[in-house]
Amino acid sequence: MKTDLFDLTGKVALITGASRGIGEAIAHLLAAYGAEVIVSSRKIDGCEAVAQAIRDKGGKARALACHVGDMQQIEDTFKNIRANEGKLDILVNNAAANPYFGHILDTDLGAYNKTVEVNLRGYFFMSVEGGKMMREQGGGVILNTASVNGVSPGDMQGIYSITKAAVINMTKAFARECGSLNIRCNALLPGLTETKFASALTQNEKILKKALTVIPLGRVAQPEEMAGTVLYLVSDASSYTTGTTVTVDGGMLA
């Protein structure tokens, strides 16, 4: 029986939104388990810093800038990976936008477009391009960071929650059509996690107090607490798991 189910040695993993927060924690853990990690976000400096920190710990990592809301940058990213690593085993779609916090009736077209372009079109075409590479090489794994808001919409986060629901359905669509290509696709549903992204919630005492009343564990998650589930879902430990979601929310949805 295989005992190294989590070993990622020799695997190439692209992680978007990896310059900080949940993506950074994922990058560190996958590298610690042997993956060659491509740390990606819009700003190269933040990616370089994370890649350097991974290398300092003995891991393999490089930085690659990509704005996932920009179709040209998506195309360039995969050209770059084809030219450099020549393969992609793991794609973690994690970078997302949430530019608007307010009543759903006041959502403007700019906020709508940005949220959809990054969270929906970005995840979709990253998966399409990554999936094509995986199809050519005989398999791979896609992991989408969705959100508990994709199941139960967050107040004042209407369009964001709607895109996250779409990501859950996207996960199933890719799983169904790509299973025969040996490509698995699953989603992580984080609950409230202490990052810059969630600071409008976690740094506001009134909002935080209210949020904690519906979290059985009674606290906000740390980014590192998301990474273990991702390691499971991208490794052989979950080899028969596809088209599903794993909720990591301190019990909130319960």
Using CB under 6 A as the criterion, what x/- string covers residues 123-142 for binding ligand NAP? --------------------
**Nearest approach, Cβ of residue 208 and ligand NAP (Å):** 11
The residues that bridge with 38 in the sheet, in sequence order, are: 14, 62
- How many whole angstroms from its chain centre is CA 205? 27
- Of these, 59, 130, 131, 190, which contacts ligand NAP (CB under 6 A)? 190
Q: Is 199 exposed, middle or buried (0-12, 13-18, 19+ CB in 10 A)?
A: exposed
User: What spatial distance separates the first Cα and last Cα of the chain, rounded to whole Å?
Assistant: 35
**Residue 230 contacts ligand NAP per CB under 6 A:** no
C-beta of 18 vs 185, nearer to ligand NAP? 18
Region from 51-59, 76-84, 94-102, 234-242 binding ligand NAP, contact rule CB under 6 A: 94-102
C-beta of 67 vs 184, nearer to ligand NAP? 67
Please give the Cα distance from 115 to 159 (Å, whole number): 7
**Residue 247 contacts ligand NAP per CB under 6 A:** no
For residues 91-111, one letter each, b for 16 or more C-beta atoms within 10 angstroms of the residue's C-beta and e for the rest, the string is bbbbbbbbebeeeeeebeeeb
* Nearest residue relative to ligand NAP (C-beta): 21
Residues 6-65 within binding reach of ligand NAP (CB under 6 A): 16-23, 41-43, 46
**Residue 171 contacts ligand NAP per CB under 6 A:** no
C-beta of 124 vs 197, nearer to ligand NAP? 197
C-beta of 21 vs 158, nearer to ligand NAP? 21
Distances in whole angstroms, Cα of residue 250 to Cα of each of 21, 50, 145, 204: 18, 27, 16, 19
The SS3 of residue 21 is: helix
**Residue 111 contacts ligand NAP per CB under 6 A:** no
**Nearest approach, Cβ of residue 93 and ligand NAP (Å):** 8
Q: Which two tokens stand for residue 211?
A: 């949020």
> Active-site residue 160, yes or no?
yes
Please give the Cα distance from 167 to 161 (Å, whole number): 10
The residues that bridge with 93 in the sheet, in sequence order, are: 144
Number of amino acids touching ligand NAP (CB under 6 A) = 31
Region from 55-63, 175-183, 185-193, 203-211 binding ligand NAP, contact rule CB under 6 A: 185-193
Q: Pick the catalytic residue: 33, 100, 123, 160?
A: 160
Sheet with 36-41, side-by-side order of all strands: 60-65, 36-41, 12-16, 90-93, 140-145, 183-190, 245-248
C-beta of 137 vs 228, nearer to ligand NAP? 228
Binding region for ligand NAP (CB under 6 A): 16-23, 41-43, 46, 66-69, 94-97, 118, 145, 147, 190, 192-193, 195-198, 223
Active site residues: 160
